[in-house]
């Protein structure tokens, strides 16, 4: 989703273009648009969400891992989304985060994207059941 930042920038007397450039540099947002009416809107990254609400990110990552384990270690990405396509960007980012951590492997066979738990993902799922395991460094 795109989030306009002009209102909050005005409240704190910050230039929205300068702020968006800073957020891009820090990888806290993925994209930024400036519209003809000078509205600046951004798309937040997982890193940005985690900066604001690390529990949300941890819970979503754990839910994906647990769902994969319950489904026999592999699921189509659309099943993970539960057919709510508005969540595609965030779920896609979360799955990519899990892949970068070595917890899942992403396969694209015949235009069907499948997410599969790795051995490390299975191990994480077992630890997750016993308590919190920090996913991100």
pLDDT per residue as tens digits for the range 56-89 = 888 888 888 888 888 888 888 878 766 567 777 7
C-alpha distances (whole Å) from 124 to each of 2, 68, 74, 103, 129 are 32, 12, 15, 8, 9
* Residue 101 vs residue 10, higher pLDDT: 10
Average pLDDT, the chain: 85
The pLDDT of residue 76 is 86
Mean pLDDT of 8-35: 93
- The Cα 130–Cα 124 span in angstroms is 10
Region 52-130: CATH code: 1.10.10.10
The domain locations on the chain are: 3-44, 52-130
C-alpha distances (whole Å) from 99 to each of 6, 31, 51, 65 are 34, 22, 20, 11
6 CA to centre of own chain = 24
The pLDDT of residue 41 is 94
- The Cα 41–Cα 125 span in angstroms is 36
Mean pLDDT of 31-50: 90
How much of the chain, in percent, has pLDDT values that exceed 70?
A: 90
Q: Say whether pLDDT at 135 is over 80.
A: no
pLDDT per residue as tens digits for the range 106-128 = 999 888 889 999 999 889 888 87
């Amino acid at each position: 989703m795109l989030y306009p930042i002009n209102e909050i920038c005005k409240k704190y007397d910050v230039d929205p273009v300068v702020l968006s450039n800073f957020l891009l540099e820090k990888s806290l947002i993925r994209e930024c648009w400036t519209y003809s009416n000078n509205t600046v809107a951004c798309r937040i990254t997982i890193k940005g969400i985690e900066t604001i609400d690390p529990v949300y990110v941890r819970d979503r990552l754990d839910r994906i891992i647990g769902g994969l384990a319950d489904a026999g270690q592999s699921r189509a990405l659309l099943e993970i989304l539960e057919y709510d396509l508005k969540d595609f960007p965030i779920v896609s980012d979360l799955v990519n985060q899990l892949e970068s951590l070595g917890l899942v492997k992403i396969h694209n066979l015949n235009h069907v994207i499948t997410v599969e738990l790795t051995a490390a993902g299975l191990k994480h799922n077992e630890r997750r059941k016993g308590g919190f395991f920090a996913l991100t460094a």
